[in-house]
Amino acid sequence: MKKIESYKIKEVEVHFKSDFKNGLTEQEAQSRLEKDGKNELEVKKITPWWVILLHSFIEPLQVILMLAAIVSIIAPAAVNNWKVSLHDFVDFIVIMLIVIADAILETVQTVKARKSVDALKSLSKPRAVVLRNGNQKEIAASDLVVGDIVILEAGKYVPAELRIIESVDFMIDESILTGESVPVEKTHNPIKETNMLADMKNIAFMSTFTTAGRAIGVVIKTAKESEIGKISKAINDNDQEQTPLEKKLTKFSYWISCIAGIIGIIVFVSLFATGKSENGAWISYLMVSITLAIGVIPESLAAVVSITLSFSTKRMAKNNVIVKKLSSVETLGSVNVICTDKTGTLTQNKMTVQKVIYNNKIVNAKEYIAENNKLQKDLLLKALVLPNDGVTEGEERIGDPTELALVDYAELMNIDEQKYRKMYQRIHELPFSSERKLMSTLNQVDDKKIIFTKGAIDQLLKVCKKIIIEDKIVPISESHKNEILKSSMNLSSDALRVLAFAYKETNNDLAKEEDLVFIGGVAMIDPVRKEAVWAIEQAKSAGIDVCMITGDHAITALAIARDLGLAFEKSQVISSDELEKMSDEELTDKIVNVRVFARVNPEHKVRIVSCLQNKGFIVSMTGDGVNDAPSLSKAEIGVAMGITGTDVAKQASDVILTDDNFVTIMFGVNEGRNVYQKIKRSITLLMGFNLANVLSILIISLIIKVSPLEATNILFINLIVESCLAIAIGMGPLDNSLMKQKPVVGKNGLLKGLAFSILKIGIVSAVFTVLSFFIGMMATDTVYWAKKITELSAEQSWWQQIKLINSLQQLDDYIITGRTSMFITMVISPLLFAHLIKLSNWKADKKVSLLISKPLINASLIALVLSLAVMFIPLINDKVFKLMGFGTSEGWNANNVWVLFSALGIAFLPFISILLIDIIVFYSYHLSIANWDKNQKLVAELVEIDTKEFHNKKKK
C-alpha cells in the first residue's frame, strides 16, 4: 500500500474524503470528532498523594522499623506476663513517629517536584485556522479531525500531522522531532516513500514550528496516531525502574534485617547456654537479644536519606535543576557517560555571524565592525536586512534562524531592521527557492531602485559581473571567484554556513538576478557556549565521558565537537548511515571510542543508550525534543530542557534544567556525588555507632547476664543523638574534591569501602564504652552489698566481686552508676568523632581540606543539650531513662560525682584514638608510598599533560 507522502494531491483528497476547496462541514467534523476523539496527547495518570504516602510505608527499611516497633511492645510484655503498661509504648511511639515523619517528608517532596514540572508546561492552549463550510475560522487545535483543511503561516505551531497540499516558500523547524538545527523547506509535491522523518518533505509534523512562508495542509493524523503521539504513548507505557540508590537501599535493608536476626539468635543462644536455668530466665535473655537486634537497625536511616535528598533538591532548584524524584539526585552523581543534545545545551541555540568575506579576504565579524569601507559596508548593511523576513521585537524573534542572525549582526552596527524596511520600501521580490538558492528584493533607496540579492555563494557568483574591492567597483575575474570560493570552502570545513550578497541599480520594477555586483559574504554558526567548554573539561577530570548526539551532518557536528574539546578525529564520529549498517554487537564494541553521533533518528538514540548500558555504563541522556523522549526514558537519568523542552520530553525525564545549560548538569553531578558521599558518611556514623552499642551491650550482657541499658536509652541514642548528627552530615557543605575522582563503575553496595571505617568506630568506641561501664560500677553499693550477703573476705579481688553480680536478685536496680557512666560516654563520644567523618575526600589530595559544617556544629550542640536534659531533669532521668537522679539513695552525691567526670574523660578517648588511626592511614597512603608508585603517578600525569597539549594544537 502506498504511503501518504507519495500520493498526488487529488489522491489525498479522495483518500481522506475531504473537500480541499470548501473544507469539511461542521456536521462531518463533529461526527469524526466523536468517532476518533480529541486531538490531544494522552497524559499519564498522576499518582495521588495518598498512594505515594502509603507506598512509603511498604518500603523494606520502613517495614523493618515497623516490625521493630511491634517487637518493642511484645518484648517487655513477655517479661511481665503479657501485662502492658503505658511506659511500654514509648519505644513504639517514637519509632512510628520516625516512620510517619519520613513517609510524609518523601510524599511532600515528590508532590512539590511534580508541581514544579507542571509549572513549566505551557499555560496557553494551541489554536488552529481551518477551512469549514467554505469559510476560514479559528478553533481549538484539540477539535481538529482527520480531513480538516488547515492554513499555516510563519510563527505558528503545526496543530496536527498534515499532508501539505499547497505551499509558498514554506519552512519548518523540525528540531524537536528530527534534531536538525536548521529549518527545512517543505513542498506540496509527491515524493518517494521513505521511513526517515527528516526526508518527508511534504509532511508537517504535529508540534513543529513554522519559520517562513505559508502553506495549506490536510490533517492526516491526530493525537496518539501522530509521530509525537506515538512517542508520548511509548513513554506513558514505560514502567519506571528503581534508581541505583533505591536498589542499594533495598539491598542494604535486607542485609541489615538478616544481620539483626542472626545477632539476636546468637546472643539468645549464648545467654541461654551460659546463664541461669530458672523458669522465666529465658524471657530476660530474649529481651536482651531483641534489644540488641533492634540496636543493629539504623532506625533513622530512612529519614536521614530523605532529608539529605530533600535538602539537595532544594539547593539544586535554586541552581536551575528541578528533580522530579528524590533518589534521582544520587543517580545523577553516579553517571559516567553523558549523552547530550547539541543545540541549546552545548551551543547558544542562536545562529551568530562569526566571519565576514570582503576585499577577497576573511576577517573576524567583530573586527569588521571597525572597518572604514564606507561604500561596501553601507551596501552590506542594507543587504543584511532588506532581503530578509526575520523580525526581532524585544524578546520575540520570528523567522528563519539564519535571517535572524543577519538582523542581529546588523543591530551590532546600530541598524534597526524595521526602520530600514520602512525607509527603503520593498517594491518587488523573488522568494528563495531550493533550485536557485537565492533570494532577491527590489527596494526604493532614496531616489534609486536597487536590487539586493543573498544566497549560496557559488550560485551568486554565477550572476555577478563586478565586485567591490577597496571600496571600488571593478570587473570580477576568475581569480576573484576562485579566491572567494576557496575562502568559502575553508569556512564550510569549519561548519560555518556561508551566505553571500550582491546588488544592482536598476530602472525596472522587477528584481532580476543578473549582472550583479558582489558585495561580500558572512559566515555564521550556532556558537558553542563558553561555559560548556569548561564544563566538558570538568566532566573529563571527573571521569565522565561526554557524547554529543545531534541531527546535524557529520562535518558540522565534528567542527562543533572540536570547539568544545570533545572530539578531534573523524574516527570519533558515527553518522546514521554507519549506525544502520552496524549490528548491536559491533556498535557496543566501538561505542567506547565514539564521541559524536550525527544525523541520528529517535530510534538510534535509544539504541546508543542501550549499547552504552550493555557496556556497564550509567548513562545520562539530555534533550529537549519529542525525538529525545524515548532515550530520556531509557537512560538511568533523563535530563530535559526547561526552556526549549517539549512537555513530552519533560514527562519522560527525571531531571529538568530551567536554564538549558550543560554547566548546570555538572552542578547536578557534583551535588549528586556529594549526596551519595553524605549518605555513606551518615551510614558510617550510624552503623559504626550501632556496632559499638551492640558490642558493648553484648560484652557486658555476657558478663552480668542482663542488658546494661534500657530500651529507652538505646532509642534515645539511636533516634536523637545519631539522627541529629547523621542529618547534619547530609546538610553539610559541598565537597568539590569529589569532582576530581572517577565515578565507581559496576554494582556497588552502600557498605562498599565503609567496612574499615565502621569497624574502626565500632571496636574503638565499644572498648571505651565497656571500660566506662565498669569504672562507673566502682561507685555503686552493689559490690559492697554482695560482700555483705555472701560474707566474702576483703582479700577477694574486684573482678571476683563483679562475678558475684550474677547471683544477685533484681540486678538492674544495682547497676545504675555503671549504666549512667556508659550512657554519658555513648552520647558524648559521637558528638566528637562525627566531625572526623565529615573531612573532605582525603584520597584526592595530600592537603586535607577541613570543611567547616555549621549544621553539624549546631546538631552537636542540640544533641548535647538534649542529652544533658535527659541526664539532669528530675523524673526524666531516673523514672524514664533509669539513670542516676537526685535526692535518692542511688542518685548523685559527693561520693559518686566523680563518675560524671570519668565518663566525660573516657568519651574523648574514642575521638583521640580514631584521629590517630586516621593520621597513620593518611600518612601511609600519601607519604609512605613506594617510589615505583610515585613514578607511575608521575608518568600518568605527564601523559595527560601531553595529550591535552596535542588536542589543543589540533584544535588551533
Residue 931 C-alpha from the chain's centroid: 41
Q: Nearest 10 degrees: CA dihedral of 147, 151, 154, 160?
A: -20
Neighbours of 83 (CB within 10 A): 9
End-to-end CA distance of the chain: 54
* Burial class of residue 112 in the structure, from the number of CB atoms within 10 Å of its CB (0-12 exposed, 13-18 middle, 19+ buried): middle
Which amino acid belongs to residue 553? H
Question: Running DSSP on this structure, what letter comes out for residue 528?
Answer: B
Rounded Cα gap, residues 26 and 131, in angstroms = 10
The dihedral sign for the CA sequence 390, 393, 397, 398: negative
Which amino acid belongs to residue 666? M
* C-alpha grid cell, residue 295: 540496636
Non-local (6+) Cβ contacts of 484 within 8 A are 357, 360, 457, 461, 500, 518, 521
596 three-state secondary structure: strand
Per-residue three-class SS string for 771-814: HHHHHHHCCCCHHHHHHHHHCCCCCCCHHHHHHHHHHCCCHHHC
Tell me the chain's radius of gyration from C-alpha atoms. Answer: 38
* C-alpha grid cell, residue 806: 550474677
Considering the candidates 88, 148, 169, 341, report the single residue annotated as catalytic: 341
Hey, what long-range contacts does 632-640 have (CB within 8 A, 24 or more apart)? 633/234, 633/235, 633/238, 634/606, 634/609, 634/610, 635/339, 635/609, 636/243, 636/244, 636/331, 636/334, 636/335, 637/328, 637/331, 637/332, 637/335, 639/332, 639/665, 639/668
Rounded Cα gap, residues 698 and 285, in angstroms = 11
* C-alpha grid cell, residue 500: 553571500
**Catalytic status, residue 148:** no
The cell 479559528 sits on which residue? 138
565: closest CA among 950, 179, 942? 950
DSSP string covering 315-333, please? HHHHTTEEESSTTHHHHHH
Angle (CA) 755-714-903 rounded to 5° is 85
Please count the residues of the chain. 956
Rounded Cα gap, residues 906 and 826, in angstroms = 10
Q: What share of the chain is helix, strand, coil (3-state, %, to 5)?
A: 55, 15, 30
Catalytic residues: 341
